[in-house]
Amino acid sequence: MADHGRRRFLTYLVAAPTLALATQVGADAVAPATAEAVIPTLPAPADLVDLGDLLILAGAPTAGMLVLTIGEDGLVTFRLPREEVGQGLTTAVAMLVAEELDLGLDRVRVELDDARPELLFNQMTGSSNSIRSLYGPVRHTAAAARARLLSAAAQRWGVSAKDLRTRDGAVLASDGRSASYGSLSSEAAAPDLQALTATPKPESAHTLVGTATSRIDARAMVTGRQQYTLDLDIPGAKPCMVRRPPSVNGTVESVNNEAAVRAMPGVLDVVEIPTGVAVVAETFGQALDAKNALDVTWGPGTVDAFSDDGIRARLKSATAPFVVPPLLTRHLDAEFDFAFVSHAPMETNSAVADVRPDRATIWSGLKTPIVARESIAAALGLPLSKVTVHVMQAGGSFGRRLFFDAALEAAQVSKASGRPVRLMWSRIDDMRHGRMRPATHHRIRATYAGDEVLSFEHRVAAVETDFRHGLGEMITSVAASLPPGIGNAGLAQTLFLTTVKSPYHFGLTTQLLTEVPLKMHTGSWRSVYSANTRGAEEIFVDELARSLGKDEVEFRRTFAKSDRARAVLDKVAEEGQWGRSMPEGRAQGIGLHEEYKSCTACLVEIDCGDRGHPRVTKAVIAADVGRPINPRGIEAQLLGGLTDAISTTLRAGLHIDRGLPLEGSYSQFHYARQKDSPPEVKIFVMPADGEPGGAGELGVPAAVGAIANAFARATGTSPRSFPIHFDVDFTPFPR
């Protein structure tokens, strides 16, 4: 669209992102890092190869199929095969492109790529993996473009490209001549141009990458111009909402007042789809009124017999036994429970669809657009080539937009109604029929003697996490959809083992997951298994330290596997004045976490003076993400992780009652507000050292531990069930 009339050149580069990293890190991890005084723990699978490594490997064959365009106006456009949901990826990628091309950041545009099935495993956004998987390929692509610009200028001027340099969007010759990138773009695109070998800049030469940079879309956001899916103006597209069943996965048996609803003001159509009854109207207000007026007879859902108590009992009975008997040593045992949690992104599930007899176009915020396109084509009975899926920037995700249910529904309604539709989920539906982080039960045992921890066992039982989006395309999606015990369960074990690891040398260490398959709408929620699994472990580590008579920070320092972990601990202990005296009812708490080649420590202070409303008053966070691209964006991610942890540890969760969450809005699902947020926050991103690690989910588990630990120390209690304050303090909406 925007490219009309603009000549440009494209760069397709067969890059080869090295996998030496995985091997290297594996070798490092095998060696017990320090700790002559502690009993070393063998590396866990995630120490050797983590999920991100696997995803990079899966994406490697297509990692070079990135598209960068330079227009005659000198603007550089990069087509990003990932989703932006607020994590700041477009800004970080724009920085990489600007850096490599010696170009002002304001000259770089990053557009979200349409679903491109040829990218196979390389168009899924998740697992904190975007920067890890794109860091090399984006730089290689931009470096190739720079090499072509240099060669084009060399050819034009009859000089050697080696004598030319680039600065501020132009190629410069030593004699003072210069040519802007825009003026060189068509010559640089000439197929017969002999270009230099392209090598990205050495990192030591970076001047933009690694510096604190504001979001490239910040101005659009503060002026209301940032477009989300339902802000698009697609000609003729009418508002649409869906009436959903009174319990999860319930079915439509009959619509009893269709004629009356069709006669309501503004109503254009009433359409039955597999997930409910859709109403199309002139405005969303009218669609909402009409869907609420529908009288539908519903068939049962898939978990109608289940409420929280029953689910918790199932989880407890499914928890695998310990193997180390506590007979000859001292030991500590603890059990923890975590409730279901809604993703609850601010922008509810939404999509625009324009389905015609011979083609379809879809717009939606999608983290797995390839499998979305493949599934929608199949559902509509159209060839894949006739379905276009545009990826829209989204109003939050936290894992939610790995699923493309709104896009599929919009396509179904548009086909049935014969008109384009803008489909939006109500907030109540988004919370009750949307995705959830599964409830989990944890049993942890450590044995110890003297100052040594001899063993550490963690048994996790979780309601099955749905990974049926696969790795973002159909093959692994279908594999994940195989019957229970074969498909999703295998993927779940792989994800657990490649993401969860203990950062401590606690002797014999085992972490095991047992899943309880229930047909509910679950899904990965920021930091997936780690928020609960590692959060519980950090609470347990505090109690273990006290059992051994040790200071909680010093204990972690002693047993930490890595110097990086000790460095972030030291940073927050110093900056947060660990151990300072606190008034009655207030305390500090500490947490540590490592994942995806990064590590972080979090120190919080909590005020529990008002027992019913504990408030985190201060947070100090340090993170080592290997090589930070945009420290300001990473700080934002850590701040978000902190707020997630405050919410889910203290007050935010979902109660399941006879097959449906009771919570239906933010007045009931108590995600933190400003009054729950600390007025003092300090975040430190450690200096660059090595390759970029993951940062998007990193902040949650350490903060969960820190907050629970501060609460325990302030109140003299041992919190075991989360969120800590979890009363049904509201009247649920009607089903």
Partner 1 sequence: MPSHTFTVNGETVTVEAPDDLPLLWVLRDLLGIRGPKYGCGIDVCKACTSHLDGEAVRPCVVPVSTVAGRQVTTIEGLADGDDLHPVQEAWLEQDVAQCGYCQPGQIMAAVALLKRTKNPTDADIDAIANVCRCGTYFRIREAIKSAAAKMR
Chain-centroid distance, C-alpha 546: 34
Report residue 261 as tokens.
Answer: 């609803």
Report residue 670 as tokens.
Answer: 């108590």
**C-alpha angle 153-154-156 in degrees, rounded to nearest 5:** 60
CB 195 within 8 A of CB 148: yes
Of 197 and 223, nearer to partner 1 (C-beta) is: 223
Report residue 504 as tokens.
Answer: 């401590």
Of 86 and 470, nearer to partner 1 (C-beta) is: 86
d(CA 607, CA 710): 9
Of 270 and 683, nearer to partner 1 (C-beta) is: 683
- Residue found under tokens 């928890």: 319
Closest CA relative to residue 551, chosen from 578, 571, 570, 575: 578
d(CA 302, CA 518): 8
d(CA 343, CA 85): 13
d(CA 720, CA 649): 10
Nearest distance from residue 410's CB to partner 1, in Å? 16
Report residue 671 as tokens.
Answer: 């995600």
Instruction: Outline where 189-325 has alpha helix (H).
Output: 218-222, 258-262, 284-293, 308-318
Q: Which residues make Cβ contacts (< 8 Å) with residue 568, sequence separation at least 6?
A: 592, 599, 600, 601, 622, 623, 624, 686
Nearest distance from residue 281's CB to partner 1, in Å? 9
Of 70 and 672, nearer to partner 1 (C-beta) is: 672
Determine which helix (DSSP H) or strand (DSSP E) holds 237, and give its type and residue range.
none
Is the bond preceding 32 in cis, omega lying within 30 degrees of 0? no
Which residues are 80's β-sheet partners? Answer: 112
Of 239 and 507, nearer to partner 1 (C-beta) is: 239
Of 572 and 636, nearer to partner 1 (C-beta) is: 636
Judged by DSSP in three states, 463 sits in strand
Nearest distance from residue 425's CB to partner 1, in Å? 10
Of 588 and 643, nearer to partner 1 (C-beta) is: 643
Nearest distance from residue 94's CB to partner 1, in Å? 14
CB neighbours (10 Å) of residue 33? Answer: 15
Of 86 and 169, nearer to partner 1 (C-beta) is: 86
Nearest distance from residue 632's CB to partner 1, in Å? 6
Of 105 and 379, nearer to partner 1 (C-beta) is: 105
CB 87 within 8 A of CB 637: yes
Report residue 110 as tokens.
Answer: 């990053």
DSSP annotation of 596 reads T
Residues that bind partner 1 (CB under 8 A): 85-88, 214-215, 217-228, 230-231, 233, 239, 265-266, 282-286, 288, 344-348, 394-398, 424, 426-427, 632, 636, 639-644, 646-647, 665-667, 671-675, 677-679, 681
Nearest distance from residue 644's CB to partner 1, in Å? 6
d(CA 172, CA 159): 11
Q: Which residues make Cβ contacts (< 8 Å) with residue 540, sequence separation at least 6?
A: 332, 334, 444, 446
Nearest distance from residue 227's CB to partner 1, in Å? 8
Nearest distance from residue 664's CB to partner 1, in Å? 9
Of 230 and 382, nearer to partner 1 (C-beta) is: 230
Of 226 and 514, nearer to partner 1 (C-beta) is: 226
